[in-house]
Homo-oligomer: A and B are copies of this chain.
Amino acid sequence: MGEENYLPHVSIDCVIFGLTDNSLNALLLKVTGTESWVLPGGYVEKDESIEDAALHVLKSRTGLTDIYLKQFMTTGNSERSFPDDVRRICESLGIEWTEGHWANKRFISICYYALIDVNKFKPTGGELEQEYQWVDIHNLPQMLMDHDNILRKGYEALKENLGNHPIGINLLPDKFTMPELQKMYEIILDKTLERSHFQKKMLRFDIFRRLEERREGVPHKRPFLYRFDENKYQNELKKGARFDV
C-alpha cells in the first residue's frame, strides 16, 4: 500500500461498460466532496501482471471475476501528471498529500475496457471512493485527469471491435432474445438496424443456439431465447468466418 509496492509511473484504468434499457453506460466513481468522477483504476504490484492488476480492479469494484476484458490503449504524454487532481482525491480520502507525493509524478496508464452484465453486478466497497454511478457514455459528468478522454477512446475501441467480433454478448444475460441482441448493437453502434435482416444475418453466423423457451412476461408475442455457443463459434472461426455487422 504505497510507493514501494507498485511499479512507479504506471497505472491501470478500466472502463466498465454496462447496458441498460436505452443506453450504454460506464461505471464511474465519485470523488467524495467534489462533483468530479473518475474511472475505476489502480496500480500494478511489482510481482503482478498488468492483466491481473486490471482484474483486481474489476473484482474490487464489481464483485465479478469472470469478466470480458480488453486492453485497448496505453496513454503516456510526458505532461501526463495531475497533482491538483491527486490532491483532491487525497483530500477526499483523508490521505496526506504533499508536493512530492509519488502519485503526482508522470504516469503511463494502461487502459482496459470490460463488458459486464449489469444484472450480475454487485457493487463492492472500494477503499478509495464510495459513491458509484452508471453513466450514459453520451452524457458524461465532469471527470478528473484525462479520464473523459480515456473513456471516449475506450468507447471507440469497443465500437470497432464490435464490428468484427460478437463480443457484445458479454453485456447480455446468458439467455437473450434476438430483439435484445439487436438493441445492444443499435445502442453501441448508435444507429438503427433493420430487424428482419439483422436476425437472418445473426443466425447465419451460426454461433447461437435457439432454446425451446421464450422470454416470458413481455407484453406482446414472446421472442425465442438464444444462447451463445462457444463450440459453434470456434468452428466458425476455424472456417475463417467473419462476424462484422
Chain A positions within 8 Å of B, measured between CB atoms, are 7-10, 44-52, 71, 73-78, 106, 108, 110, 160, 163-164, 242, 244
- Are A76 and B44 in touch, CB under 8 angstroms? yes
Task: Assess whether A108 is in contact with B7, with CB atoms less than 8 Å apart.
Answer: yes
Q: What is the minimal beta-carbon distance from A121 to any residue of chain B, in angstroms? A: 27
CB distance from A69 to the nearest CB of B (A): 13
When all copies of this chain in the complex are counted, the total is: 2
Name the B residues within 8 Å of A110 (CB-CB): 74, 76, 108
The smallest beta-carbon distance between A213 and chain B, in angstroms, is 35
Show 24 residue pairs from A and B whose CB-CB distance is below 8 angstroms, ordered by the A residue.
A7-B8, A7-B108, A8-B8, A8-B9, A9-B9, A9-B10, A10-B10, A44-B108, A46-B106, A49-B76, A49-B77, A49-B78, A50-B74, A50-B75, A50-B76, A50-B108, A51-B76, A52-B78, A71-B73, A74-B74, A76-B110, A108-B110, A164-B164, A244-B244
Q: Which chain B positions have C-beta within 8 A of A73?
A: 71
Q: CB-CB < 8 A to A51: which residues of B? A: 76
Q: Select A160's contact among B46, B71, B164, beta carbons within 8 Å.
A: B164
Contact (Cβ within 8 A) B108 A10: yes
The 4 closest A-B pairs by CB, nearest first: A50-B76, A74-B74, A49-B77, A47-B78
Q: How far is the CA of A52 from the CA of B50 in the complex (A)?
A: 23
Q: How far apart sit A77 and B7, CA to CA, in the bound complex (Å)?
A: 12
Query: Within 8 Å CB of A163, what residues of B?
Result: 164, 242
